[in-house]
Chain A
């Protein structure tokens, strides 16, 4: 039984239990009403209580089984393969397991498989089927017995409402804890793989090395097979593209925020603000396409006109388009901050004879500065983490250069390049992506903390 079908089964059982519980308490109360016993909770709570009994435990069991059973099946498959051919080394066993699974899902053609793989695949298929059957049986049994248990408890004086509310509170706490679990998941998954990466590549070489070429030879005797993992060219490329993006986004975003909140009449504001919001809603893959197929060729051709040689994957094209993507981000954040500056400050400046632009430059902007700086920091963090534009428009080769007309690569591009396509999970090449991911996570986290700090530390309280 497939996961989604089972899920909907459980949902159906829940609804059925609710209706059944509600009916039952009505019958029970009607019977005891003659003896003067009043019902404690309303019908709906009795129904909900039975539904919760029918759904909650099986749902946890379903998720736990789905999470854990692959690990158990893997272990059983390993035992099976070992019993079939006892003299396999650990590494060979791992490769064999991967091939068995590939054969099982059909991505390994029959002609490449040997008898052992076919046997293993049959065994694996049987285990997967068994596991799915067992899961369905257990979940449905638990659900039915849960409902039965709930129904037995129902009585007019049964305190269903506090029970349901208490359970509801626990469920809410669990839901809130997902945020913590996600953070822990991100940090742990990145850190574990990064530690394994630093077993293979020295920490300092990664952080300060000047050469990045992650191609590792498949055979031992290939030339240049070792791969070098110096990440400085990636950091430099990321910084350059981010810098170009900021050169575009900060002036345009800030000035349009100033114009829209201080000068524009309501009609222009009503048109221009949604237009800028539309820019924010465009998916990044669209910007990437725009950069790679429209801006980059245009820049290259117009560069050639005036005698400049631009790479068709120049940092300039990627940076410009990333700047366009960031404009709405900066403009809407700055807009909020500028609007938060109290009107009395503007009136005061006007009373002293300042022109409107003098008021803005010497009063409003300084007052809004902490918020604007924090907006820019957040924008930088966004630009550093942006992936699709650079994957499509920036280069793959890691050049250490300060020339924006040349092609550079970024941290995010390399993560994608290292992980897309076939991968074995133990090579330094794959693990390097996680090390880069950790750097990315750390830097963006720091920028966000810094942005928060700037606002809290330097903001003036005007009211």
Chain B
């Protein structure tokens, strides 16, 4: 039997209870801090590993645009690769053997001739002149120059051979190599070569897909929400619709992918990998989000507004169109933007309908083959080449930045236009 009147016992027990209080509080703080730490660690590690992708080492070559390689009549058919390689050979007059030459060419990127090709096609009068241009080095050399491949390892353990090192060291001593901003990351489509791979194709694919999503889901979602919130009688049909919407909001996204595959592609024979199908699938996925957000925004409008409008003779639809909807618009737009941001980051259902094909071109139409930014990230992540790790992280940083901007816009909208009644 515990003696509660014993002061010593009471003091001890109180102490124990206060200790428990402090412990509990510490657990809570630890939970919050660990969540915050994880966020910081996740973001900083991804940003850190993305940094190498934003710059690339280029070598300055004096390229002689001679008529041996390109004719003024058909500048598009010129042998620009040969032209660039000849310019590189000039730097190394001592290299004559075939195998040495081939090794020498390896230090350049496959896309080294892109720039000169574009310039000459744009302006054929350049033929005959000599241009001093910076052309990209290969990804392995670039990684070594960035210190990500240790050049002190024995030759058998690193990708860059001793011979390549000699070439690069000579160019370095002549101060021909410099690091510049990797513009290719933003202007190019996908590529098998990490230094030439860019997000432009995926970005426009994402944009086309989201336009389809917006055109389909916004009107449908808002109309459905107005009906359910303002017009619908309370009967079994509307109850069924509400149950359905709540369940659809919780269906795993991959199931929507299966739906898209079975219905849009196999039944209606729509094209695979097209933004049209991707947009439709994402629209079905976003619909519950938009409906729920719109209903919340509509129900936040006080009944007095409706009654006042009715009192001066507005019809039920005039009340909605002239008063309730405009007042609820900030909330509706915020919900729509947040739903679209979710859709923009979605990958799994798009894998099902083939939006992860290797596509170099920038898609121009909603029925063209395309990929989206998250799927591009997924494909790069699966690439074994080391330089793709940085490329993937850079893609993620760009995606997160876009989503952050979009969500911040949504929050700004809400803050700016939200009214408290």
Contacts and interface: CB of A to CB of B under 8 A. Distances in A.
B348 A165 contact: no
A327 interface: yes
Interface in B360-374: 365-367, 374
Contact of A255 (B31, B46, B227, B253): B31
B367 A259 contact: no
A254 B396 CA distance: 29
A387 B227 contact: no
Main secondary structure of the interface of A (DSSP, over half): helix
B247 A190 contact: no
Interface stretch (A17-25, A111-119, A227-235, A432-440): A432-440
Contact of A189 (B49, B232, B258): B258
Interface string B1-42: 000000000000000011011011101111110111011001
Interface stretch (B55-63, B167-175, B259-267): B259-267
Interface in A278-311: 278-279, 281-286, 288-290, 292-294
Interface string B328-364: 0000000000000100111110011010100000000
A282 B407 CA distance: 11
A283 B399 contact: yes
B196 to A, nearest CB: 21
Given A285-B345, A444-B251, A434 B35 contact: no
Interface residues of A, number: 96
Contact of B366 (A3, A192, A386): A3
Interface stretch (B140-148, B153-161, B187-195, B216-224): B216-224
A389 to B, nearest CB: 10
B389 interface: yes
A85 interface: no
Contacts of A259: 25, 28-29, 31-32
A358 B317 CA distance: 54
Interface stretch (B87-95, B127-135, B283-291): B283-291
B403 to A, nearest CB: 6
A445 B263 contact: no
B183 interface: no
Interface of B: 17-18, 20-21, 23-25, 27-32, 34-36, 38-39, 42, 45-46, 49, 219-221, 223-224, 226-228, 231-232, 238, 240-241, 244-248, 250-256, 258-259, 261-263, 266-271, 276, 284, 287-288, 291, 315-317, 341, 344-348, 351-352, 354, 356, 365-367, 374-375, 377-378, 381, 389, 392-393, 396, 399-400, 403, 407
B31 A178 contact: no
A319 to B, nearest CB: 14
A419 B352 contact: yes
A186 B31 contact: no
A286 B47 CA distance: 12
Contacts of B287: 178-179, 182
B227 A173 contact: yes
A71 B24 contact: no
25 contacts: A4-B366, A70-B269, A176-B227, A186-B251, A254-B31, A255-B27, A255-B31, A264-B32, A278-B39, A279-B35, A281-B341, A283-B344, A283-B346, A283-B403, A289-B392, A290-B42, A327-B38, A355-B18, A382-B250, A388-B347, A392-B381, A415-B254, A420-B352, A437-B258, A448-B247
Contacts of A331: 35
A416 B255 contact: no
Contact of A252 (B35, B42, B240, B347): B35
A180 B347 contact: no
A89 interface: no
B255 A385 contact: yes
Contact of A361 (B24, B45, B245, B267): B24
A381 interface: yes
Contacts of B238: 176
A189 B268 CA distance: 13
B31 A179 contact: no
Given A74-B269, A285-B375, A388-B347, 15 more contacts: A105-B271, A179-B245, A189-B267, A279-B39, A282-B42, A285-B374, A285-B381, A285-B396, A286-B399, A290-B42, A293-B49, A355-B18, A384-B252, A441-B251, A445-B247
For the complex of A and B, the 5 pairs showing the least CB-CB separation, nearest first, are A385-B252, A283-B345, A259-B28, A70-B269, A189-B262
A256 B25 CA distance: 10
Contacts of A161: 315
A2 B46 CA distance: 41
A378 interface: yes
Interface of A: 2-4, 66-67, 70-71, 73-74, 105, 161, 165, 168-169, 171-173, 175-180, 182-183, 185-186, 189-190, 192-193, 251-256, 258-260, 262-264, 268, 272, 275-276, 278-279, 281-286, 288-290, 292-294, 324, 327-328, 331, 355-358, 360-361, 378, 381-382, 384-388, 391-392, 412, 415-416, 419-420, 425, 433-434, 437, 440-441, 444-445, 448, 452
| Residue from B262, B344, B346, B365 having most chain A Cβ neighbours under 10 A | B262
Contacts of A253: 31, 35
Nearest to A327: B35
Contact of B244 (A4, A180, A255): A180
Nearest to B276: A3
Given A171-B223, A175-B223, A355-B17, A387 B254 contact: yes
Nearest to B27: A255
Given A3-B276, A290-B46, A387-B254, A183 B248 contact: yes
Given A182-B284, A293-B381, A358-B17, A281 B30 contact: no
Contacts of A283: 344-347, 374, 399-400, 403
B25 A357 contact: yes
B224 A412 contact: no
A381 B399 CA distance: 26
B18 A183 contact: no
A179 B35 contact: no
A452 B250 CA distance: 12
A387 B28 contact: no
Contacts of A256: 28, 31-32, 35
Contacts of A190: 255, 258-259, 262
Given A173-B227, A175-B224, A285 B378 contact: yes
Nearest to A193: B262
Contacts of B223: 171-172, 175-176
Contacts of B263: 185, 189
Contact of B241 (A180, A281, A384, A386): A180
A169 B231 contact: yes
Contacts of B354: 420
A284 B220 contact: no
Given A74-B269, A275-B35, A179 B224 contact: yes
A387 B348 contact: yes
Contacts of A445: 247, 250-251
Nearest to B375: A285
Contacts of B226: 172
A71 B29 CA distance: 61
Nearest to B32: A256
A355 B20 contact: yes
A173 B287 CA distance: 15
A416 B30 contact: no
Nearest to A173: B227
Given A182-B287, A256-B31, A419-B261, A356 B374 contact: no
B376 to A, nearest CB: 9
A320 B245 CA distance: 31
Contacts of B367: 2-3
Contacts of A263: 25, 28-29
Given A177-B241, A263-B25, A275-B39, A385 B32 contact: no
